[in-house]
Amino acid sequence: MSAPSAPPLKLLPLILANAACMMAMNAFIALLAPLARTLALNEWQAGASVTVAGVLWFLLARPWGRLSDRWGRKRVIATGIAGFAAAYLALAAGIHWALLTLPGTLAGFLLLLAGRGAIGAFYAAIPAAANAMIADRTPVERRAAAMATLGASSAIGLVLGPSLAGWLVGGGLVLPLYAMAGLAVVALIVAIYGLPGGDAPLAPRDATPVRMGDPRLRMPVVVALVAMGSVAIAQICVGFYAMDRWGLSREHAGRVAGYALTAVGVALIAAQVGVRRLQWPPHVLIRRGAVVAMLGFLVAGFTAAPWQLIASYFVMALGMGLVFPAFSAMAANAVAAHEQGTVAGTVSAAQGIGMVLGPLAGTLLYGIAPAVPFVVGALMLASIAFWVGTAREPAVARPADEAA
């Protein structure tokens, strides 16, 4: 499509709101292990409480995106953040009660499952409507850069959330949860007063719904699925790899994993900020980013020392930092204005599938040999680089497409 007629979008409020919610999402992960031990939960129960958020993200991303085509982007973002904040506060209060009363394993498990499920269900609205808002108000040639800025804010939340939770946990396990719920309220205020309203082009009543398998979206959806699945494989395997490869203690392996994931966050920020300067089209970003990430995966599978593992994670994240904003921009460029919300939700749903399948595939492959998940991740990324590199450059929707 052509450059949007809506006024240019001021990204700062969107960046702040998204970063705050991502901080809250990832802060919980840092608290999961001690919470699970205190509530006498098994590892699979703790893992299920994380997976359920990904499942609901996948299921609801497209409906939220479609709703933003009719309600408006700001209204959906604000609704998502409000529900996210309420769900987080309810989870914090529920865990506070559980820690005081120790109601039993089943009750603790159901509490985490319900709380994380509600958080994931409302969070699904935020990236779908946020990317559609950027597509509405950003010219084609600048979309990848703008979406990279949004991605950098997610990476900041990925890094700062667990760090802040670790700092606050000295005041008890529930203090970080209440603090993150408060942070989500701040995000809601920023969204209400900082984001523009009335910006969604309403979808015509007779418009054909965008299907998950729409040919225009085949490439960005597959790339999104593979990219998020690869990231999830790397996340789930890093701690086990550090223990099994070098015989590290749980505490030492946990530190190595923490350093590796911090390196991931730093690399994502660096890469996605760099996208703004490179101004490469989406298909070039995907091809080159996938090659860089592939090299990181290959090195990770055969490292000889922990520092090499950390460095390899930095390299793989540097490549992923080019890929992530590119597939969102590629999808947005392929469709008309009234389809942006549904399409952003479709891409977000593909990421949700990757977030669900990646950990499962990673643990199954790890059971074969510690290096296997990394080799498979490298092969998937190599396939993506080859496909995108040899395919015809994706078409960009023209103004006539929007009038149809």
pLDDT at residue 251 in the model: 67
pLDDT at residue 199 in the model: 58
pLDDT at residue 388 in the model: 94
| CATH superfamily of the domain spanning 8-200 | MFS general substrate transporter like domains (1.20.1250.20)
Measured CA to CA, the distance from residue 149 to residue 152 in angstroms comes to 5
| One-letter amino acid of 357 | L
Please name the residues in contact with 269: beta carbons below 8 A apart, sequence gap of 6 or more.
152, 155, 156, 159, 321
Measured CA to CA, the distance from residue 374 to residue 296 in angstroms comes to 9
Q: Which of 351, 294, 350 is nearest to 320 (CA)?
A: 294
Measured CA to CA, the distance from residue 270 to residue 66 in angstroms comes to 32
pLDDT at residue 375 in the model: 96
pLDDT at residue 150 in the model: 84
pLDDT at residue 340 in the model: 84
pLDDT at residue 1 in the model: 43
Measured CA to CA, the distance from residue 50 to residue 116 in angstroms comes to 7
Tokens of 13: 């409020």
| Size of the chain in residues | 404
Measured CA to CA, the distance from residue 315 to residue 293 in angstroms comes to 6
Q: Which of 84, 72, 70 is nearest to 124 (CA)?
A: 84
- CATH topology identical between 8-200 and 211-392: yes
Domain boundaries, the chain: 8-200, 211-392
User: Over its length of 404 residues, how does the chain's per-residue pLDDT go in tens digits?
Assistant: 444 455 667 888 999 999 999 899 888 877 877 788 788 888 778 778 877 888 898 899 889 988 988 888 999 999 999 999 999 999 999 999 998 887 888 888 899 999 999 999 999 999 889 988 988 888 888 888 888 888 778 878 877 887 788 788 888 889 999 999 999 999 999 999 999 876 555 556 556 667 777 888 899 999 999 998 898 888 878 888 888 888 887 667 777 887 887 888 889 888 877 887 888 899 999 999 999 999 999 999 999 999 999 999 999 999 999 998 889 889 888 888 778 888 888 888 888 888 788 877 888 898 899 999 999 999 999 999 999 999 876 656 554 444 44
User: Against a cut of 0.95, is the pTM above it?
Assistant: no
* CATH of the domain spanning 211-392, picked from 1.10.287.130, 3.30.300.30, 2.30.30.140, 1.20.1250.20: 1.20.1250.20
